[in-house]
Every structure is written in C-alpha cells, then in structure tokens.
Structure 1
Amino acid sequence: MRSAVAASAGAGGRLLIEWLIVALISLGAVWGLTRTSIADRADYAIYDALMATQSRPASNEIFIIAIDEESLGTIGRWPWPRSTHARLLEWLAKVQPAAIGYDVLFVEPSPDDLAVAQAAKAAAPVILPIAFDVPGNNGAPFTAELPTPVIRAVTTPAHATLYPDADGIVRRVGLIAGGGTQTWPHIAELLYRRVRGHASPIFANAATDALPADAFSVAGQVLLPFTGPAGSYRTVPFSSVLNGEVPREMLRGKIVLVGSTAHGQLDQYATPLGTMSGVEMLANATDDLLANRTIRQASPRAYLAFGLLPLIILLIALLLFSPALNLVLGLLLIAATLGGSATLLIWARIWFPPTAALAGLFFVYPLWAWRRLEAASAYMTRELRQLGSEADPLPGRGSAESRTQFLREAIDRQTVMLHSAIERVRDLRRFFGDSIQGLPDATLILDGEGRTLLANRAAERLFVPLLDEPALAAEQKLDDLIRHLAPTATAATFDQSDDREIVSADGRVFVVRVVPLVDATGAPVGSIARLTDISAIRLATRQREDALQLLTHDMRSPQASILALLDRNEDIETLRARIAGYAQRTLELADNFVHLARAQAARPKQDLLDLSALLIDAVDDQWVLAQKSKIRIETKGEDDEHLVLGDRSLLSRALVNLIGNAIKYSDRSTTICCTISESDDVVCCRIIDQGRGIPADELDHLFDPFTRVEARGRRDVGGAGLGLSFVRTVIAQHHGTIHCESEEGKGSTFILCLPRAEDPDA
C-alpha cells in the first residue's frame, strides 16, 4: 500500500515540477519578447495587414502644392531661388488659407530672405521645418538647424523628422523632438493647434515628460493609419500655382502643405502602402490628428499583461483539463488574442502587438506535451518494472524485463513491458472470475453503494427465479435481493462483516456475510457478499434436539411410570392394562418420531393421486376410534376426482393424523366434517370439528414439534406433539400449504391445499 501511495505521489510531484519548469520558461520567453525587438517584424506584418482593411477618403480640408517633376521641368533644377518661394507665399497671402505648412528648409542665408520674410508675414501663419544634425557640433548630442533669423522672425519652426521602424518602414511620427530645454513640436501638431485652437491631447500628455538633455529623442509617438497610397490627397503643381492656373477659392480656408513629391528630391519614405513623399506623410499626420484617428502604442506594462494573460490561462488549464480540451482552449486563446488585438486597434485606437502572446501559446503547448509525455513515460516504465518484479500468483510466466534487455528504443521496451502487464492483468482477472464462479455458495461482488457488479452461477440460481428475470440485473442492491429471498428479514443494511442468519420464504436458512474490499492503497472500493445455505445443518440440529427431548422426557416418562407400577401391589389385570397403555404410548411416540424423521429426510414421490380416495381411506382408518367416542365423520366432495402429485403413504399419513387429532380433541357425540374442493388450480381439503377450539396465542406454534394444546377443562389425550409437525413437513414437501382457523368454544378448521394436477389421459 505504501509503495502504491508513494508511486502516485511521485508521479504527481514530478508532473508538477515539469509544469513549473514549463511555466517559468514560457513566461520568461514572453517577457523577453515584450522587452526586446525580436517579435517586431511579425507585429509590423500583422499591423500592416489590419490597417490595409481600413480605407477612408482623404480630407478635403488639406491641399498639397507639390514640387513635382512638372514644376522642376518648368521652373528649373532644384534648389530654386528663394524669390520663387516668395512669389508663392505672396499668392497664398491673397488666398488666406487656414494654415500653411511649408516643408522646405531655409537654413542657409540668401539675398532673398527679406522677400521671403515679408511674404510669409503677409501669409501668416507659416510653419517651417527644422533639420537636426546628430551628433551635433562641438560634442553636443544634436544641433538644430533653424530657418535663417530673418525668416524665423515671422514664421514658426517645427520638426518634421521621420524615423522608420526596424524593417525600414515609416509607420509613426513623434509630436515632440529635441532634448532637455530645446524641444520643438511636429508641424502636424502646430497645424492642429491653428485649426483647433489648443494642443492635441497626445501632445499635452507627452509634454509632461521631459526629454533627456544628453541625447536627441522623440516623444509623443503615434501610429498613423494612412488614408491611402501616394496621391490620395488633392495636389496641385507648384508651377501651376505660379502660372495662375489654380483658382484662389480652391485653397481659401484650407490647410496648405508645400513640399517635394519628386522622386529625385530624396524626400521619399517607405510606408505600409508603398513609397510616399515627406509632404504626403505630413498630410496624413495632420489629417489623423484632426480626425482623432491616431493610434497609441500600448504602455510596456499593458503590453506585458496582454502577452502574459493568455499564457497564464492556458498554463492553469494544463493542470486542470484534458489534452483535447486544452487544445481547443489553446486555439480559442489564439483566436481571442488576434481578435482582441484587432478590436483594440480598430475601435479603441490602441495597438497591442500580439506576437509575444501568440508565441507563448504556440510555444507552451508542445513544450508541455513533451514534458508531460516524458514524465508519463518515466512513471509508466518505473511502475511496469515494479509490477514485473512482484511475485506472480500464476506460474509459468517469464519476466518482461528479460525480454526487453536487447531493445534499444525506450518505446519498444515500454511496449513489451506494457503488453506483458496487460496479459498479466487479464490472466489474473480470468483467474479471479473463475474462482468466484467456482464457489459453491452464492457470491456477489458489490460496489461502495452495495450495488451488484459481479455474481457467480450459484447467485444466479438463487436469485433469478425470485426476480422473474432471465438474469441477475447489474447494479441490483444486496438489500433488495435479500428482501426478495427472505421477506421477513430485518430492514438493516447488510454492510458489516458479522454473520447474519436469514430464513427464506421456502424455509431455507442462509448465513449472510459481507466483507469489505480495499484497493492497493487501503481505500475501500466495495465489498464481497456470500450467502451460505445452512438448512441441512439447522435441520440436523433441530432433529438432534427433538431426539434428545423425545428420549429424555416423552419416552422416559412412560417407562418411569411402568417401573413405578411394578413397585405397587395392585390387581394383576389392572396392572397389565396400565402397563399396556404406557407401552402403547411409547410405541406411538417412536412411530411418530420415525415418521417425522423420514418425512424430513426423504424426497416424496411424484405419483398421480386422487385426494378424494386418500381422504376416504383416512376416514376408514380412523372409523373405529371415532365409534368409541360416538363421533360421526361426514365427507363432502369425495364423489368427484381431485388429482394431485405426491407420495401416497406420506399424504395418507398426514390425513390420518389430522382426522385423528380432530377425534381426540372433540367431545363425544359430535360431528367432524371433511370436504374437498378445487379453485385456482389448487385442491383444498378442510377438516372441521366441533371441539372446544384452540386459544389464539397458541395458533402460531401449533405446527412446531413437541407442541401440545392443553385446553382448559379438556381431558388429557396424550401424545408428544409430533403429529402436526409431520403434517406441515409433508405438505411443504409437496409445495402445498396448511393452516388452522379456530376460536375457543367454536371448534377448529384445518385447511390443507395442494397444487392440482392434470390427468395425462384426459
């Protein structure tokens, strides 16, 4: 028992250790993926695929004046004279746009700076870009290249820096750039303020975090859900504006962006939707800010929680559920992770990269399956070896270990050992079943609730006729079976190991013993019940007691009386008469006892008899005794034939005893009526006397051996009380019934019923 408990605990302990190792490895892997850029490319691919499904029209409030190939061909090679830019600004001053984002660097002085400044002042507000040199001059972390002082005095500088992700694709912008006290907002942020009148919420949150002074950095980063590929926003050539080909009303009150779209200007960037110019990136950023469509990256803590939560759920499920259910749960968690990431991106505008969470789910299931299989394999090998080392109760079986010593593969060794163990269990089960079936006593194997699991052939023969079913039903309770066998048995549950005796309806005596069954660990699993028929033992005991009573009392009493008479000086004739009476009484006692013993021991014959003829013969046999007491015996129904199967001598003797008792216990000059009738396939004989009746408290013991009825005021009729016991024994052997109906002062009626037989010649 201890070894079984230890093996079970060892298997569970190792499995728990394996689970802890798998949990630590998988959780650490997910944590590492969320803290490094290893999974970025996969996250970018998922992000791009999701954003490709979100299409929308470009805003009509944004116009691009493009420095394109047409304008370069018309105006000339780049860079253009700043007077050209002054002309455009002068034209825009007359248009009166909402704001101007001029994505052209004016960092080097020029003779035309004053003209540009005057035009910019008239067209205000004008926002110009800043260039950053990283690292900066003289060991500075960065140097900001601002517009010339003349131009800077009438414009607003802002940054337009774009940084690609690790895969070289630009997906985001930073609303603040710089370091320490030198920080500048993005051009799109300033355009937003011009239109909305306040800073964007994202910029306000990012501005609370100071940028480090010892390095150039970007804060307030937002992902851009691009409107579409290059050319999505309304664009007019720079040269067309200067040539007066663009109506001023088209741009009035709009956000005007000026920048290069020509491929040779080195202002082209890779995006999820293809190559796009810097000014078009600026248009997308401005449009997204104004429409509140920008996407925020989840915080590191939230990202870590998003990655760990599905993994933790699956890890807990691995300990609680079956492999099939865990597989389904794992697939559902994968779908939920992808669906949750997409839902948060599209509806909440928050990007939770799902690759770390998916990698954890994909990684933990095969890892756990491997370690669990390894633990189960080791446990099975250990248990099979231990089983093989135990003594086998069945002889002639070789060791499984000797058959596996030449096998190299572990799975081959385990297969051979498992096959041997299965054969052993099958043989033991067959041996156990044959042993149970071979038991002579009715034996039942019961579960913990007392329901039948297995019954041997003796139990089938005992209970099936009582249940009126073809076979003993499974899960039949022992208590119910006992009640069918012995209706008068007590209602107590048979769940103790003490022997209990019950008496069946046909008079057989059984000893019921229930013994608990336990498993290898000592835990109760059921019980085994055995019913032993001790009717022969009880009969022999009762016969022995009857014989002792007969010899010690009933037969001894007449002999003692004879000896007493011999000591008295009486008339010889009187002495002879009394001695003859006592001898006759002793002879009757011996005859009755012999008849009763034979009736109990012998099996009655099954001859076809006419009960009417037997009754007439019994009446004739007792006619002389009846005449002495002037008792009249009448018979009714004897003219008809009433056939039964039985032993002529036993049934005749039983009828003679009943009629003789009626004569003995009846007063002189009375009548005894004997009738025979048939009903419901039963032949009944009634013997009715006009005696003084039997007390009610003596009726229950009337047919017991050595029981005599001593009615008040009645003469002593002698006898040892074996006649009625003989009658009951004979009638029971013929599958009949007998009982007495009596009331003091009104006589008695003995009713004998036997199964009716059919005449084969009829």
Structure 2
Amino acid sequence: MADAADSHDRPSRSGLWLTMALAALAAFLGSFNGLGRLDQVFYDRAVMMTERAADPDILVVAIDDASIEALGRWPWRRAVHAALLDRLKGARAVGLDLIFAEPDTVNAGDDAILADSIRRNSHTVLPAILDRLRNPSAIGLPLPELAQAAASIGFINAVIDPDGVVREAVLTTQFAGHRWNHLAISMLEAGGEAEHARRLLTRANAEGRILIPYAGPPTHIRTVSYLSVLRGDIPPQTLRGKYVLVGAWATGLGDDYPTPVSHDVSGISGVEIIANILQAARTDVVYQRPAAGWNALFALLPVLLACLSLWRLAPKKALLVSLALLAVIPLASWLLLAHAFLWFAPTAALAGVALCYPLWSWRNQEAALRYMDNELRRLQREYPPILNEARVPLANPNASLESRVGELRRALARVRNLRRFLADGLDGMPDATLVFDQDGRMRFRNQAAVLFFQHLGIRAPRIGRPAAHLLERTLADEGARARVAEALSGRHAADPGTPWSADLEVRDRAGRDLILKCAPIHTAEGQFAGTVATLTDISRIRQAERQREETLRFISHDMRAPQSSILALVELSQEAGAQALGNDTLDRIAMLANRTLRLVDDFVHLTRAESMTISAIELDLGSLLQDAVDDLWPSANRRGITLEVTTPLPVAYTRGEQTLLMRALCNLVDNAIKYSASGTRIECGIDEQPGFWRVCIQDQGQGIAPQDLARLFEPFARVGVENRGDIGGAGLGLAFVRTVAERHGGRIEVQSEPGVGSLFMLHLPQV
C-alpha cells in the first residue's frame, strides 16, 4: 500500500479535476458580465453606497407644483419659456428638456418669440426623441425655426432595463447617415467643453453605452423653482457660467424613472438623470463594465482561492475562508466601482465559491470513506483480536455514513484496547523503560522510569524532550553517554560503526549500577521509527557481589589472623612444654580470642541491621545517649579520658528500634574513646535541627585525613590505623551506624581535622 504521507503531499487527481471544473464554471458565468436580477440588485446597492458631492456648476430649473399653481395649468405659453431663457443669458449652456414638436396654434406668435429668445441666448440645446436607440428609424425633432435657432440638438431617450430601472445611458447613435448625441453631450459642446464630451464618448462601449454614475439620491443635484428664476428671485451671478437644465418636476407632469438611487421614492425625473450624465462627463467619473475576459477572471480567482483553502486547511478553517470570500466578493465589487469605476458583477464568483464547499465536502467524504474501508480491511488482516474480542465484519461499501462511523468506532476501540494492553504491560515492567522517536525525543515513559529519575533528584522527563539531555544528567561516564546517543540516533544499518542496539553496563550519578539496553523500533513498512531503552538496576546484585568478596576477605584475613596467632602460640607452648606457658601467653591468647568474638559480633550486628524488620516505637534520644555514656564511662575512665554529656539534654523523641539505636550510639562513643589519647575530653550532646534531632559526639583525637572521609562508613574500612596502634576492629562499627541511620530515615555526618579531633553527627527524624 502506498505511504499515506505521500497521498497527502501529492495533489489528488479528483481534487484537481473538481477545481478545474469549478473554475471553468465560474469563468463561464463571469464572461456574461452579469447574471440578471441578482447582479442588478448588487449593482444598485453599490451605486447607493458611492454617493459624491453634486457639481456646483450644474443647476436644474424645475417646473414644480408651485410654478404650476402660480402660472396656470400646463402647457404654458411659449412666450413664458422665452422670458425664462432671457433670465438665463449668463448661463454656460441651457438644456430645455421640453418637447416643441408642434406649432402653437393658439398663440401663433409665441413660436417666433421663443425662437428669438433661443437665438439671443446662443447656448440653448433642444431635445429630440428617437423611436428606438439601436438602429433608429424615426426621430422627433423640435419645430424647424426653433431647431435652427438652437445651438444644438440632443436626444433624451432613457435606457430602461427589463426590471424598469434606468441604469445605463446611450451617448451617441447613428440615424439617417448622421451621428446624434445625447442632450448632455450636446450641452457640453454648446458650453465650450467639447473635450469633456469627447472623453466621455471614449469611455462608452461599442454601442455608445455607459453605466450612469449617479452622484446621489433624487434632489441631490442643486434645484431651483422655475417660478423663482422667472421672477428674478435668483441673482444673475448665481446663474452665470452654469449648465442649466429646465425640465418638468411637478406631480403627474414629470417623466420619473426608477433608478438605483431612488428605492425610497417613486423615481427620479428625466432632467435629473441628464444632470447626472452631465456631471459624470465634467468630473470624468464613468462607470464601465470590463471586458468579458476580465470579469471571468474576477469570478475565477475567488473559486481558485476557495479550492486552495479547502485543499490545504482544516474543514473549519476552510469554511471560514469560504464565508470570508462570500463577504469579500461583493465588497471588492463595490470598491472597484467606487475607486476604479469598473463594475465586476459578483454573482458568478459568489455562485462558484458557494458551490466549492459542498462539492469539496462531498469529495472529501467519499475519499475518507474509501480510505476508511481500505484501512479497516488492512486492520482486519494485520491485527487479530485480543482480550477475547470478537472479529466484527466490515460494513457494506454501500452502507450509510453512520454505519461506517460505527465500524470505525469499533475498530478504534480495538486499537485503544491494544494500546492500553501494551501501555499497561510497559508500565507494569519493573525496569525503567523509555521510548524515543527517530529524532531522539522521548515519547513514552513507564512508572519505573519516573521513580528512577526521582531517585536521582531529577524532574521526571517530559514527553518530547531530547534523550541527550536525559543522558547528560543521568549517566556519569562520558563514553557511555556517547554510545547511548549513537544508539538512539538510528543511523542506517549499512554503517558498520552504528549500533542498532546497545547492551552495556553503566553507572548513574547516584552510584547505582545499571544495564542499559537499546533496541530499534520500525514501522509496518520497515522504516526506522525510534528506539526503546530499558534501564535495569543491578545495584543489589553488584552490592551482593561486593559483600561476598568482602565477606570472603573478612573470613580469609580478619577472622583467620587471630586464629592463626592462637595456633602459633599453642604450638610454641607445646614445643616449650606446658610449664613454659606463662601469664603473658595466656593474656595474648585471650586478647586474640576476644578480638575474634568482637569481629564476629560486629559482622552479625551489621547483617542484622541491614536485613531485620524494624519495629518502630517512640524513644527519647536523650535517655539513650545518657545510657550509652554510662555504659562506656568505665572504659573511658581507665584510659584517663573525660566523657561528658552537655546538659541539660532536650526531650528528643524519635521513632525507631531501641536496640539498634542504642548500639549505634555506643559505637560512636566507643570509637571516640578508642581513637582518643589519655587526658583528652569527649563531649556528647543533642540539639535541634529543622525536622531532625542531631546527636553530636566530639573527641580530641588525632582526626581523620580528608582523603579517608569518603570511605569512612564503608564496611571493613579501617582508615589511619597505622598511626594509632593495634586497637582492634574490622571497620564494621561505623558501617553499622550508617546502616541504622539510613533505615531510620536519617543520616550520619563527620567533620574532622587531623591533629584536632573529629565530630560525628547522627541526624534522626523528630516525632
């Protein structure tokens, strides 16, 4: 079976095909530059959010309700419009959004009056109406005498989308071999700003269309009443240099159209739509649709990003990325419209991203189920049931997801049982066991390993720590650390210098003898996965071996020496005759026999102290010390040594075996007497330490050399006896004291200076 890691690293073929299909779908939909009503809704909201300040040089003269009320019902006499034009002489250009297609039959002279006024104004533009904007076949023009008097004529047709909203405008069209421009373009040419008109026309598409960049909601363009201008209420300087549009605004009279910025009202008047187109040209702000390829790319990129996130991220993060993209796409469309004046329809991109997550989830689920089925079959083959588990048949490949999950749950339970079985087995091993990965970092430790490091005074190793750090603080020998580090490195077995396993005896920093074994761990594919190391404490075995050697030496030397001397004296007396056996010889034999008895007695007591069960009771160390001093006072007195107890002694309660503690105190006092010269003083006392009682025995003997202090309490250690004469003993007394102290939870310490004396301190826990 292929390595699972490779399948994650290589792009999945099905994922690649799905990504390509989704990207192609998004690009195809995006190439339409909009998908109907939904994109129109997005566009309307975006236009409403891009409000800009109104151009102060554009003014709308509105035929409003107040004007109708003052001047009478519509239509008005054309002489009234002529009077208005006379008031607008200072304007840069005047656009009359009023139709004068038929002569005035009631007031025959008014047409001439209006024509004269238009001619005097010289910057008046009149409207025309086409039957249709694409390939028009007819056009409604103003009266010939008015058309001849006007500076220009422009059509005022509105482009209405299927939903009835005016979002676009046609700026120019061909009719009867002539090019006709929109009224706003004609006003720019009449006002001397033909360059603005030219730039606006270059922004239009092949059909001469633009998206109208509405500056704001209805009445956003500055508007004054027709009546106010006619009466002269508006100062001439207010009108000078302005583009003035005259159009109907009154209720039931104006041509109102729904627009993206008029959702809160019925619509916006046609004259104000013309004003917005005029402002777009003067401010060089024109909304455009990009080429179909760019809009396809705009729809394609978010889909690719969503697929990439679904490919690389966790499902939760991928879902968040998808939701973020769904929010960012409309935002990006609005930002591009507001700052780049390009409208990228977002629906295609939104649809592509919305499809990504469910389709990728379906694909991932199918892939996961196939992988699950394969691994469960492999588990059935390679992992037989343990602990009386029943072999569960695999789920039907056509079964539901719940059935597959149930089978996986049972398989995982079996794996957990196996892991628990192995973990409990390792944890129950008496030897410290550590498991390291291929990088030499610890991944498992059993309870024995925790206790092992606690005994060393080291914090229990944590999962993931390097093995070298543990070895440096555990093993004392540098060579052993190097060998173990090499074994844990797991270099290739082809290297003959690489030990794939290690089996060596080492000693830790606590002085314990250990057997360290390392063995490699491999994966199911045979790859090196790590190392298992065990530390077996053989200190008791090595100690027993040393004790055996010491016992043999004790028996062969210390026990045989006095016996050999006794035999030699007996043979000498036999050769000389019984009458030659004097008191000196008998005294010598008695001394040697007593020495043998003391050696045997000390050896037996040490053995008992090491092995006997302690029956702890509460004892007063002061009373025990006083009894020991009283017992040994005659011996000190015979040698002229002053043996004193520092009084008053505290009531020092501890828990322990009375016989062992009494003999330990006697050994300390007896040693002080043996190694002290006549005429010296031995002081005994007890003081209190935090949690302990300290029994102090201080003499004024010859002291102990610094190099001998380290082995002073070892069995059969007799240090410095060459300068002190034959005082007997086999070096077991102080070993006995150390054993008793340790078994009672205490310790024995010594401070000594050659030629000054020694201070022995026995620490025992307080009750």
TM-score, normalised on structure 1?
0.69
**Residue in 1 that maps onto 2:756:** 746
Moved more, 284-293 or 124-133: 124-133
Moved more, 27-36 or 525-534: 525-534
* Structure 2: stretches of 5+ with no match in the other structure: 103-108, 489-501
Instruction: Select which of 726, 746, 757 maps to 1:716.
Output: 726
**Residue in 1 that maps onto 2:494:** none
**Residue in 1 that maps onto 2:370:** 378
**Residue in 1 that maps onto 2:35:** 39
Q: Is the 8 A contact 2:333 2:344 kept in 1?
A: yes
Given the alignment of the two structures, is residue 410 of structure 1 paired with residue 400 of structure 2, yes or no?
yes
1:601/1:638 CA distance change after superposition, 3 Å:
farther
**Residue in 2 that maps onto 1:596:** 606
| Shift in Å, 1:288 | 3.2
1:180/1:531 CA distance change after superposition, 3 Å:
farther
Q: Is the 8 A contact 1:337 1:358 kept in 2?
A: yes
**Residue in 2 that maps onto 1:296:** 287
Q: Is the 8 A contact 1:227 1:284 kept in 2?
A: no
**Residue in 2 that maps onto 1:435:** 425
User: Secondary structure of 2:684's partner?
Assistant: strand
C-alpha distance in structure 2 between counterparts of 1:713 and 1:56, whole Å:
114
C-alpha distance in structure 1 between counterparts of 2:631 and 2:213, whole Å:
126
C-alpha distance in structure 2 between counterparts of 1:444 and 1:131, whole Å:
93
Given the alignment of the two structures, is residue 353 of structure 1 paired with residue 362 of structure 2, yes or no?
no
Q: Is the 8 A contact 1:180 1:210 kept in 2?
A: no
C-alpha distance in structure 1 between counterparts of 2:766 and 2:134, whole Å:
125
**Residue in 1 that maps onto 2:330:** 338
**Residue in 1 that maps onto 2:172:** 176
1:96/1:723 CA distance change after superposition, 3 Å:
closer
| Shift in Å, 1:560 | 6.0
1:302/1:62 CA distance change after superposition, 3 Å:
farther
Moved more, 591-600 or 567-576: 567-576
1:115-138 deviation digits (Å, cap 9, x = unpaired): 9998786775555648589998xx
List aligned pairs for 1:63-142, cutoff 5 A: 98-99=93-94, 127=126, 129=128
Q: Is the 8 A contact 1:503 1:510 kept in 2?
A: no
C-alpha distance in structure 1 between counterparts of 2:636 and 2:259, whole Å:
133
1:544 counterpart letter in structure 2:
R
C-alpha distance in structure 2 between counterparts of 1:287 and 1:732, whole Å:
102
1:184/1:725 CA distance change after superposition, 3 Å:
same
Q: Is the 8 A contact 2:212 2:277 kept in 1?
A: no
1:10/1:332 CA distance change after superposition, 3 Å:
closer
C-alpha distance in structure 2 between counterparts of 1:556 and 1:285, whole Å:
133
User: Secondary structure of 2:194's partner?
Assistant: coil
Given the alignment of the two structures, is residue 537 of structure 1 paired with residue 519 of structure 2, yes or no?
no
**Residue in 2 that maps onto 1:214:** none
Q: Is the 8 A contact 2:185 2:197 kept in 1?
A: no
C-alpha distance in structure 2 between counterparts of 1:616 and 1:118, whole Å:
145
C-alpha distance in structure 2 between counterparts of 1:464 and 1:604, whole Å:
25
List aligned pairs for 1:695-714, cutoff 5 A: 695-710=705-720, 714=724
C-alpha distance in structure 2 between counterparts of 1:106 and 1:637, whole Å:
139
Q: Is the 8 A contact 2:477 2:506 kept in 1?
A: no
User: Secondary structure of 2:180's partner?
Assistant: strand
| Shift in Å, 1:39 | 0.5
C-alpha distance in structure 2 between counterparts of 1:148 and 1:622, whole Å:
147
Given the alignment of the two structures, is residue 8 of structure 1 paired with residue 5 of structure 2, yes or no?
yes
1:695/1:199 CA distance change after superposition, 3 Å:
same
1:611/1:290 CA distance change after superposition, 3 Å:
closer
C-alpha distance in structure 2 between counterparts of 1:632 and 1:123, whole Å:
145
C-alpha distance in structure 1 between counterparts of 2:686 and 2:216, whole Å:
111
| Shift in Å, 1:36 | 1.5
**Residue in 2 that maps onto 1:24:** 20
Given the alignment of the two structures, is residue 554 of structure 1 paired with residue 554 of structure 2, yes or no?
no
Given the alignment of the two structures, is residue 285 of structure 1 paired with residue 289 of structure 2, yes or no?
no
TM-score, normalised on structure 2?
0.69
1:374/1:567 CA distance change after superposition, 3 Å:
same
Q: Is the 8 A contact 1:604 1:646 kept in 2?
A: yes
Given the alignment of the two structures, is residue 425 of structure 1 paired with residue 415 of structure 2, yes or no?
yes
1:647-703 deviation digits (Å, cap 9, x = unpaired): 455455545544554454444x54564635454586665555554333333233222
| Shift in Å, 1:421 | 1.8
Moved more, 410-419 or 370-379: 370-379
**Residue in 2 that maps onto 1:191:** 187
Instruction: Select which of 664, 672, 675 maps to 2:684.
Output: 675
1:553-604 deviation digits (Å, cap 9, x = unpaired): 4345556667777599974546965677666655544444343333323234
C-alpha distance in structure 1 between counterparts of 2:755 and 2:217, whole Å:
121
1:338 counterpart letter in structure 2:
P
C-alpha distance in structure 1 between counterparts of 2:132 and 2:625, whole Å:
139
Instruction: Select which of 360, 375, 382 maps to 1:368.
Output: 360
CA RMSD of aligned residues (A): 6.1
User: Secondary structure of 2:378's partner?
Assistant: helix
| Shift in Å, 1:751 | 4.2
Q: Is the 8 A contact 2:641 2:673 kept in 1?
A: no
C-alpha distance in structure 2 between counterparts of 1:186 and 1:519, whole Å:
80
| Shift in Å, 1:289 | 0.6
1:71-127 deviation digits (Å, cap 9, x = unpaired): xx999xxxxxxxx99x999889878765465876989xxxx9x99998786775555
List aligned pairs for 1:612-651, cutoff 5 A: 630-632=639-641, 634-636=643-645, 646-647=656-657, 649-651=659-661
| Shift in Å, 1:345 | 4.9
List aligned pairs for 1:377-526, cutoff 5 A: 377-392=369-384, 394-400=386-392, 402=393, 404-405=395-396, 408-441=398-431, 456=447, 500-502=506-508
1:184-218 deviation digits (Å, cap 9, x = unpaired): 332321122223x112536325359997xxxxx43
1:283/1:203 CA distance change after superposition, 3 Å:
farther
1:742/1:176 CA distance change after superposition, 3 Å:
same
1:297 counterpart letter in structure 2:
Q
1:329-351 deviation digits (Å, cap 9, x = unpaired): 44444344434544665677654
* Structure 1: stretches of 5+ with no match in the other structure: 76-83, 137-141, 212-216, 758-762
Q: Is the 8 A contact 1:672 1:687 kept in 2?
A: no
User: Secondary structure of 1:177's partner?
Assistant: strand
C-alpha distance in structure 1 between counterparts of 2:744 and 2:205, whole Å:
114
1:635/1:33 CA distance change after superposition, 3 Å:
same
| Shift in Å, 1:546 | 0.4
List aligned pairs for 1:683-694, cutoff 5 A: 686-694=696-704
1:716-746 deviation digits (Å, cap 9, x = unpaired): 3344333332333234334444344433333
| Shift in Å, 1:544 | 0.7
Identity %: 30
User: Secondary structure of 2:748's partner?
Assistant: strand
